[in-house]
Structure 1
Amino acid sequence: MQGDRTVIAYHGNCPDGFSGAYAAWKKFGDTAEYLPLAHGKPPATELAGAKVYFIDFCYTKEVMDAIVAEAASVTVLDHHEGVADVVRSMPEYVFDANRSGATIAWTYFHPEVPVPEFLKYVEDGDLYRWKLPDARTVLAYAYTKPFTNENWDMLIEELENPEMRATLLAKGATYAEYRTLIIDSLVERAEPVLFEGMTCYLASAPSIFASDVGNGLYTKHGGVALIAQVRADGLRISLRSNGDINVAEIAQKYGGNGHPGSAGISLPFGSPIPWAPLPDEDTRD
C-alpha cells in the first residue's frame, strides 16, 4: 500500500547527507526506500502517498508544497540557512544551523542513543570547524571508503575500539598528507573568471575536495571560489567564501542553495555558463 511506504530522501553525493540517511537506516533498515537528491533535479521516484523524510536537503517552497500535497507525511531535517524559511514552513521539521544533517537525523531517529563519534566527525568536517582531535585524519581515512551502511558501521566500530582506532589514525595520517598534496595542486591550477561582477577563481575537482579547494582559493585570492565537477547530466558548481560574501544568495539565483559560506548549483548541459574567463597573467597573485 502507498501509505505504508517510507522514503528517506537525502542530499546525494554528500558525506553529511549519506550519514543522515545512515541514521535513518539504523531505524528503518531495508523497510524504507533511500533516495539521493540533487538541487534542480526532481525526485527519481513517485512520492505520492508515502511518508517522506528529507534529510540534509530541501527543495524550493513550490516544489516542497507540491510534495506535501501528495505525500502521506513530510518531515524535513536540515541545517542549510538558505532554505530555513522553507524548512520552517513544513508540517514537521527540525532546523538547526549549528548542527549538520547527520547529527540532526541521528538525534531525531534515536533520541535516547548518544550520537556516534564518527557522525560527530562528519559534522565537524561538514561545518568546516575542524575542532575535534585528528578530524582531518579521521575523515581522510573514512572518505576513501564507498558510502555504504556497512562501511559506516565499521567506521563507528573502528573509532570505538582502541587498537582499531590506532590503525585508523596511522593510515589516515598518510591519506591526509596525500590529500593535502592533491588539494594544493588543484588550487594552483585554478583559473581566474568574471562571475557575478567579481574576479573569482575556478578549479575543477571532485566534490569530496570542494570545501578544501575552495578554502585554499578564497584564502589565497579572496572573493568567491568556484569548484566545478562534470557529471553525466551537466556541471555541479560548488561556491565557497569566508562568509563575507553570501554564496547561498548567489546560488539561489541559479536554483541552488546552501550556507553563507558554502553553497552549490547545478548547470545542465546547454545552460548558459555564468562566468567568463579572464587573462591569467593579469589577475593571478
Structure 2
Amino acid sequence: MNYVLYHKNCNDGFGAAWVAWQALGYQAKYIAVQHGDLPPDIPDGSIVTIVDFAYSRDVLLDMYERMESLWVLDHHKTAAQDLTGLEFTTFDMDKSGAMLAWEYWFSGQSPPLLIQYIQDKDLWLFQLENSAEVTAALSSYPKDFDVWNTLSVDGMAKEGMAIQRAINIKVLEHVEMATIRNVAGYQVPVVNATCYTSEIGSQLNANFPDSPFSAMYFDLADGNRKWSLRSRGEFDVSAVAQKFGGGGHKNSAGYIELMK
C-alpha cells in the first residue's frame, strides 16, 4: 500500500499531496501530519512518501527500516540537519514542497501554474502576477483533490481581488490589537490570530522594527497553544521554534506550546 504524508493545514503541503494524487490517484492513502503529533500507524512493508514535512532523524530511520520504501521531500530549514546524509531524501530550501513533489513525480515536465503560484507565496516571493489574490482565492476552497482539479489561476485571480481586500482589512484589525509580550525570552509584538498569520506577522514586523520577530497564537481544542513566528532580515525564528519541538524556515516558523 502507498501512503503519502503531507504537511497539514498548508496550501504547499496539500499542493504536494495533490501532485502525488495526480501520479498515484486513489491507489495511495493521503494523511495530513503536523509537528507535535506522533507519526500515523502505518503497516510495515508499506511504500511511504513524506512531502513538505520531515520527522526527526531517529523516527525517519526507524520508518526506513520497517517500510518497503521511504522517500522524504522537504524544504524547511529546521529539517536540514535531520536529513543530512540520508539516502532517501530530497531537500532544497529554494523550492516549495509542492514544487519538490512535482519534480519527484513528474521530472522534466513543466509544473502547472497552480504549483508555481503556491511556491511563489510559500517562499514569500510574490514574483508572479496577482500572486496574493490567487493564493487568497485558493485558500477559500476546501483541500479536496477533486475540487482543486477544477480550479484555474485566471479564475482565482479575479475571485481573489475581493478576498484579498477583506484580508487586508482583517490584518490591520488584528495588528491594532498587538501587545508587547515575552516570547521565548524576547520582547515582541503578539496577536491572537487563527489565520492570516504571515500577513499579520509581516505587518507587525513593519510596525515594530526594533523587535526581532512577531508572534501569533491561538488555543487548540486539546488545550495546547499554537504559535506562529515571523521575522525579516537575519533573525532566525526557526531556531526559536525548534527549541519547542517545532520547525519551519528562517523567517517563518511555528510550534505547539504544551499547556498541560
Q: What value does the CA root-mean-square deviation take over the aligned residues?
A: 1.5
Asked which structure has the greater CA Rg, the reply is 1
Q: Does 1:168 align with 2:164?
A: no
Report how far residue 40 of structure 1 moved.
1.5
1:257 matched to which residue of 2?
A: 247
- What's the TM-score once normalised by structure 2's chain length? 0.94
Q: Does structure 2 conserve the Cα–Cα contact (< 8 Å) formed by 1:6 and 1:52? A: yes
DSSP 3-state at the match of 1:223: coil
1:119 to 115, 120, 138: 115
CA distance in 2, matches of 1:47, 1:253: 31
1:26 matched to which residue of 2?
A: 22
1:99 matched to which residue of 2?
A: 95
DSSP 3-state at the match of 2:118: helix
Q: How many residues align?
A: 257
CA distance in 1, matches of 2:244, 2:137: 34
CA distance in 1, matches of 2:44, 2:225: 30
2:42 to 35, 46, 52: 46
1:198 matched to which residue of 2?
A: 186
Residues 62-105 of structure 1 deviation map (CA, whole Å, 9 limit, x = unaligned): 22222222222210111111111222333322111111001110
Q: Does 1:178 align with 2:166?
A: yes
Q: Tell me, which stretches of 5 or more residues in structure 2 are unaligned? A: none
Residues 145-192 of structure 1 deviation map (CA, whole Å, 9 limit, x = unaligned): 11111221112xx23xxxxx2x53332111110110011111111221
DSSP 3-state at the match of 2:150: helix
Report how far residue 48 of structure 1 moved.
2.4
DSSP 3-state at the match of 1:238: strand
CA distance in 1, matches of 2:232, 2:12: 20
Of 101-110 and 219-228, the range deviating more from structure 2: 219-228
Shift in CA distance, 47/202, structure 1 to aligned 2, threshold 3 Å: farther
Report how far residue 243 of structure 1 moved.
3.8
- Identical pairs, percent: 29
Letter in 2 for 1:11: H
- What's the TM-score once normalised by structure 1's chain length? 0.86
1:142 to 134, 138, 144: 138
Report how far residue 46 of structure 1 moved.
2.4
Q: Does 1:232 align with 2:221?
A: yes
